Structure 1
Amino acid sequence: MKSKIVLSVLLLWTAVAVRGQHFDYDAIAPHPRLLLPSVDEAAVKAAAEQVPALAWIQSRLFAFCDATLSEPPVERIKTGRRLLDVSRLALKRIYYLAYAYRMSGDERYYAGAVREMEAVCTFEDWNPIHFLDVGEMVLGLAIGYDWLYDRLPGEMRARICRAIVEKGFAPTAIPKYGDKCYKRTNNWNQVCNAGLVYGALAIYEEFPEQCREIVEKCMESNPRAMTVYAPDGGYPEGYNYWGYGTGFEVMLIAALESALGHDGGLSASEGFLASARFMQFMTGPCGYSFNFSDAPPRAFVQVMFPWFARRTGDCSLLWNYLPGGEGPQTDFTDHRLLPTLLLYAAGVDWSSVREPARHTWFNRGKTPVYIYRSGWNSPDDLYLGVKGGSAATSHAHMDAGSFVFDALGERWAMDLGMQNYYSLESRGIDLWSKKPESKRWEVFRIGNSSHNTLTINGCHHQIRGFAPIVDTIGSHGSHGAVIDLTEVLGEGLRCAQRTVTVERDRYLFVCDRIETGDMPVRVEWTMCTPAQAVVTGRNRIELTQNGKRMTLVADAPGCRVRMRVLSNDPPNDWDAPNPGTVHVGFETEIPAGQRRELRVRLIPRNL
């Protein structure tokens, strides 16, 4: 109840603040008005010539465009209940081709963009039942319309306008379609609002009343999504969905500013700008992300970081950012919003980029997270990520209390990551029900048994239970956090607290303090790892990978521990395989009415 009251107050305050920021629609900028006015083209071209990494990125973009020219345009082919893959490909093709045309003047790219826009305009609809598909489709079509406006024939302009109004705007009035997005607080709100507002700003002169309504509806509803960054900048849905939701939020803000002169106060929302630092910490030194919830293990370049660096004036956000630089690198992918990176990277003084001063991150909110890294320059730096939170959060797993750990240039404690949604939905798994009896919790990668946390009596975590980070540690050579797992682990315990620390930049220490109730409990301590693992003693497991070694040592005074190395072979035929991984740890019993400490050290063998 308390959290709902706080959310209502935040929504009211933010909505009042945003409504106070009026737009002057009569002063809307001329075409091209979305992201890149004509006067800024020269600066973007110059940056791509003068900064080698930007030139390399642009060359990849042009290569994609060249390949697209020999391929047929997109077709309306659904995958399960989604048209999303098609919408994303259409957005990517139109955005890339329009960018390539503006940078080069090559008529082939103009013709290719027009061909893709003509194709999506002929679709019977853009699958409004899954409105993300509509949001991304409108975004792509709007950019193409705006950026190529002066070249488009009048008939083509009219066709695009009709498609945006009939297939984009009209479904927002239907409760089972787009109207749901306005009420959400997750990435759906951000993606759908961004796409619709792009459409409204692009075709404003043709349908001013409808377009104003779309923009104003965004300004009333989008603050709901912005509350999730409060108070510190953490993003509850994690690494993958920060890139999605926040990426489209930046697109929205940037379009409002370029077309109407300001963003209505959206970027000033509590925690929003700080979330870029959260994401910088979410990437580990050896190229893996802290991939709690639905996220892949590998880190990838976040397209919007140059925008955040320019907005905050903090270029340390771009440390080790560009491909080909010194230091540890994340994967570079040809993201569908990649041109945005080039637009905002053009305004960065790359010679001023410096190493971040901080080595710890802590955020509260729906998904509290603590991160420590010993340095910023070497893949051998130590890295610890710990999370609390709840399985009830959007896209969450039963991973409260989970941690990841990097040392010696390797990830030793890992998260298996997300499983492709369609692979489960096609087997009849309802992934989106959060009820206790939902099949969602039977998916191996989602339930608690595969995560680096505790399991009590073989049971699932309590879905509505919340695990706060109640303390952080940063003195006497210890860096870490304390998570209260009592609500999450269930009624059989009077208290359960987990402390996870890096000690003297030498080893990882995990201490679970557990107090039982009226019944004895069986505790399973689990850590997923890509290392080869062998039990070598009554309380010891040796881990090896890529010629490096780590020793896991368990100590549980008053308890007998049974060390375990277990396969990650999936228990159900709908589960994804997990080759090259195992989970290690131990099992023990704690009598009724007792307090015990379960202590684990993870020690690099070269110490």
Structure 2
Amino acid sequence: MQIKHLLSGLLALCLSFTEPANAQTDYIGTAAKVPAHPRILLLKGEEKAIQKTIAADNNWRKVHQAILTESDAIVNKPPIERIQIGRRLLDKSREAIRRIFFLSYAYRTTGQSVYQQRAEKEMLAIAAFSDWNPSHFLDVAEMTMAMAIGYDWLYDQLSPAARTAIKEAILKKGIEPSLDPKYNSWLKAEHNWNQVCNAGMTYGAMAIYEDLPELAKQVINRAIETIVLPMADYAPNGAYPEGYGYWGYGTSFNVMFISALDKLFGKDFGLSQKPGFLQTAGYLENMTGPSGKPFNYSDAGGGGGLQPAMFWFANKQKDPSLLWVEKSRLLNSQPPSLVGDRLLPAIMLWSAGTHMEKITAPTSAMWVGKGKNPVALMRTSWTDPAAIFVGMKGGSVSVNHAHMDIGSFVMEADGVRWAMDFGMQDYESLESKGIKLFGRTQDAQRWTVFRYTNLVHNTLTVNNQHQRVEGYAPITASSAAPSFMHAVTDISAVYKGALAKANRGIAIVNKAYVVVQDEVETLNEETTIRWTLLTPANVTITGNNQATLTKDGKKLLLEVAAPGKLTMKTWSTDPPNTYDAPNPGTILTGFEVTIPANTKATITVALKPGNAADKPTDKLPPLSNWKND
């Protein structure tokens, strides 16, 4: 007992040196009482609600059974080994959450000891690791969350020796490194690292709360105090600056954090009411097109996936229509395909018995988000798989994980994604070749990566130059009018020094086709503008101002109206560097146009799917007349 108190005092003292003297507020309070184990996310006896959900809805029964079946498979696998890849142990930490969360869920919903015993074996193996790689603290955060869930959910069944070893590991390899300034710079981060690391440390603190209550409270108070930094980026109305892929990371862990706070203390200390946070569910839902593919700008993959956190948002907002895309993923996926998601068991906690038939389509066909990386997301229908969908963005190249994609867009029609985005390249594939991937300056090595510059995004390149890192492009107008749904972004700042002005408007006209209208003003020299569209389709140049795209038996006409000398083109997507990822089955198409010095010019591109190809393009007003709703 004396050793425990000595350690508690030592760590509390250490914490006091890592925090500014007057920075931390005691949100929890001295009178806080915490329940016995299990206390994280799912209290003792609350398994009954899950059993009720499973009994009432076959769809949830299938998900539950998929978790159990996967847990059976995990039982027969050897424990995770400490194998680091480059500077990351992260894949092992993520697999640890998946295994331990699944096994713990399986035990709590079935009572079968084989799951508890296998989870204990996994946790003891992880506890014996030399460390959890604090130099890349995401690894520590996710490993700590994994161990905390298993320790808490299986506490009464763990052997005394296992409890001691796991608790010691959570403390020494999880929480204690977070007190060291060498490893905790994420406390000041305004991006996903803050969300994930604070969540992981909080889970660790909650798990061992009764042993080290003062330390646990300080860690949790620290998290409540600092997680507001990245949460500020959801303001004003929910657009997540880091894009679809990192929404699934940062926001999901933010929800894991808030949900655990709410369960343990009966409140979330106002965090869920921060501007834009609850509205971010609308952003995530609208980011997916009819094909099921997301608008994967910035560092995101090209595929979409089930997002358990969306069920938390839908329940918080009492709006089942937020789950329209999630419903489709659940109903159209084989449940075993979902088990790669390490947070999947949380969906059974957050679904709250939501019946699929109560999930109806959203009423609005357009969603516009402001903030650091503003987006406009529009479609002609939520229920027609052949609907037109457009996602466009403004924003800044200097946002975390951003590409030089300001003004870029994706577009679908007839079930085909005609205008696409490569998205991210695997980090280790670049870092292992010596690429310093996360610089944000104009001359950063990041901009030597083929996929990351404006040259391969669906935007403009001026005089073969990169977009400016320091520029910002706001969305200046938008309308959800069905006959002319549109948005406009002022992209002038990212072409500073190359153009005097540049504005881009994108519209869905009469629910039939898409128009991209660029208005530019040149400086005092002749200027060449390259307009590109990245596509998986076959491309044929069919005229002086036309190209025809074909894919899967469907057709899209690309038709250009522009002043000056216009040359229709295609460009290969074979990458120039050995460290670049290959890009099979893709091509760039578009044109180059030369515009005289000191000239205002309008460039209009119509993207006409199917029967719309035979109809004339409507003459559109200047962007200054594209009004807000």
Three-state SS of the structure 1 residue aligned to 2:377 is: strand
Match of 1:48 in 2: 54
1:458 has 2:464 as partner:
yes
Match of 2:278 in 1: 273
Match of 2:230 in 1: 225
Q: Deviations over 1:514-555 (max 9, x none)?
A: 101112211000010111001011110000000000100011
1:257 has 2:259 as partner:
no
Match of 2:585, as an amino acid?
G
Three-state SS of the structure 1 residue aligned to 2:198 is: helix
Match of 1:238 in 2: 243
1:359 has 2:365 as partner:
yes
Three-state SS of the structure 1 residue aligned to 2:438 is: coil
Match of 1:216 in 2: 221
Aligned residue among 322, 341, 351 for 1:345: 351
Match of 2:197 in 1: 192
* Separation of aligned partners in 1, 2:315 and 2:46: 15
Match of 2:283, as an amino acid?
F
Match of 1:239, as an amino acid?
Y
* Separation of aligned partners in 2, 1:157 and 1:366: 45
- Cα distance, 1:490 vs structure 2: 2.3
Three-state SS of the structure 1 residue aligned to 2:190 is: coil
Count of aligned pairs between the two proteins? 590
Aligned residue among 297, 306, 313 for 2:302: 297
Match of 2:530 in 1: 524
Match of 1:135 in 2: 141
- Cα distance, 1:606 vs structure 2: 2.2
Aligned residue among 389, 395, 400 for 1:383: 389
Q: Deviations over 1:290-333 (max 9, x none)?
A: 00101111211111111111111111111242357778999846
Q: Deviations over 1:96-117 (max 9, x none)?
A: 0000011111111111100110
Aligned residue among 576, 579, 593 for 1:574: 579
Three-state SS of the structure 1 residue aligned to 2:155 is: coil
- Cα distance, 1:154 vs structure 2: 2.1
Question: Is the deviation greater in 434-443 or in 362-371?
Answer: 434-443
Q: Quick check: 1:29–1:260 contact (8 Å CA) kept in 2?
A: no
Match of 2:267, as an amino acid?
H
Structural mapping, 1:83-102, within 5 Å? 83-102=89-108
Aligned residue among 543, 546, 561 for 1:540: 546
Structural mapping, 1:397-436, within 5 Å? 397-436=403-442
* Separation of aligned partners in 2, 1:536 and 1:34: 62
- Cα distance, 1:566 vs structure 2: 1.4
- Cα distance, 1:474 vs structure 2: 3.4
Q: Quick check: 1:80–1:422 contact (8 Å CA) kept in 2?
A: yes
1:168 has 2:170 as partner:
no
CA 1:324–1:605: 2 relative to 1, 3 Å: closer
Match of 1:37 in 2: 43
Aligned residue among 543, 553, 558 for 1:552: 558
Match of 1:139, as an amino acid?
M
* Separation of aligned partners in 2, 1:100 and 1:26: 31
Question: Is the deviation greater in 75-84 or in 430-439?
Answer: 430-439
CA 1:335–1:36: 2 relative to 1, 3 Å: same
Three-state SS of the structure 1 residue aligned to 2:581 is: coil
Aligned residue among 577, 599, 610 for 1:605: 610
1:309 has 2:314 as partner:
yes
* Separation of aligned partners in 2, 1:602 and 1:328: 31
Match of 1:180 in 2: 185
Match of 2:538, as an amino acid?
Q
Three-state SS of the structure 1 residue aligned to 2:130 is: coil
Three-state SS of the structure 2 residue aligned to 1:445 is: helix
* Separation of aligned partners in 2, 1:157 and 1:580: 53
Match of 1:422, as an amino acid?
E
- Cα distance, 1:59 vs structure 2: 2.1
- Cα distance, 1:354 vs structure 2: 1.8
The runs of 4+ residues in structure 1 deviating greater than 6 Å are 324-331
CA 1:328–1:402: 2 relative to 1, 3 Å: farther
Match of 1:470 in 2: 476
Three-state SS of the structure 2 residue aligned to 1:287 is: coil
Q: Quick check: 2:501–2:520 contact (8 Å CA) kept in 1?
A: yes
Three-state SS of the structure 2 residue aligned to 1:598 is: strand
Q: Deviations over 1:270-299 (max 9, x none)?
A: 100000111000011111100010111121
CA 1:326–1:55: 2 relative to 1, 3 Å: closer
Match of 1:66 in 2: 72
* Separation of aligned partners in 1, 2:36 and 2:533: 57
- Cα distance, 1:25 vs structure 2: 5.5
Q: Quick check: 1:310–1:347 contact (8 Å CA) kept in 2?
A: no
- Cα distance, 1:94 vs structure 2: 0.5
With structure 1 as the length reference, what TM-score do the two structures score?
A: 0.94
- Cα distance, 1:89 vs structure 2: 0.5
Match of 2:252 in 1: 247
* Separation of aligned partners in 1, 2:394 and 2:105: 42
Match of 2:461, as an amino acid?
T
* Separation of aligned partners in 1, 2:330 and 2:159: 44
Q: Deviations over 1:238-266 (max 9, x none)?
A: 00000100100110011111112211111
Q: Deviations over 1:27-67 (max 9, x none)?
A: 11221111111221011022123322212222221222111
Match of 1:9 in 2: none
Match of 1:3 in 2: none
* Separation of aligned partners in 2, 1:289 and 1:441: 24
Match of 1:75, as an amino acid?
E
* Separation of aligned partners in 2, 1:95 and 1:120: 14
1:78 has 2:66 as partner:
no
Q: Quick check: 2:27–2:221 contact (8 Å CA) kept in 1?
A: no
* Separation of aligned partners in 2, 1:374 and 1:133: 42
Three-state SS of the structure 2 residue aligned to 1:289 is: coil
Q: Quick check: 2:365–2:480 contact (8 Å CA) kept in 1?
A: no
The gaps in structure 1 that reach 5 residues or longer are 1-15
Q: Deviations over 1:59-97 (max 9, x none)?
A: 221222111111110011001000000000111100000
* Separation of aligned partners in 2, 1:100 and 1:78: 29
Match of 1:303, as an amino acid?
P
Overall identity of the aligned pairs, in %: 43
- Cα distance, 1:212 vs structure 2: 1.1
Three-state SS of the structure 1 residue aligned to 2:451 is: coil
Q: Quick check: 1:327–1:379 contact (8 Å CA) kept in 2?
A: no
Match of 2:600 in 1: 595
- Cα distance, 1:573 vs structure 2: 1.0
Match of 1:207, as an amino acid?
L
1:480 has 2:491 as partner:
no
Q: Quick check: 1:286–1:328 contact (8 Å CA) kept in 2?
A: no
Aligned residue among 368, 373, 378 for 2:379: 373
The gaps in structure 2 that reach 5 residues or longer are 1-21, 613-629
Three-state SS of the structure 1 residue aligned to 2:588 is: strand
- Cα distance, 1:572 vs structure 2: 0.9
1:396 has 2:402 as partner:
yes
Match of 2:450 in 1: 444
* Separation of aligned partners in 1, 2:182 and 2:475: 37
- Cα distance, 1:124 vs structure 2: 0.8
* Separation of aligned partners in 2, 1:226 and 1:99: 29
Match of 1:305, as an amino acid?
M
- Cα distance, 1:23 vs structure 2: 4.3
* Separation of aligned partners in 2, 1:463 and 1:329: 43
Give the aligned CA root-mean-square deviation in angstroms: 1.9
Question: Is the deviation greater in 493-502 or in 36-45?
Answer: 36-45
Three-state SS of the structure 1 residue aligned to 2:423 is: coil
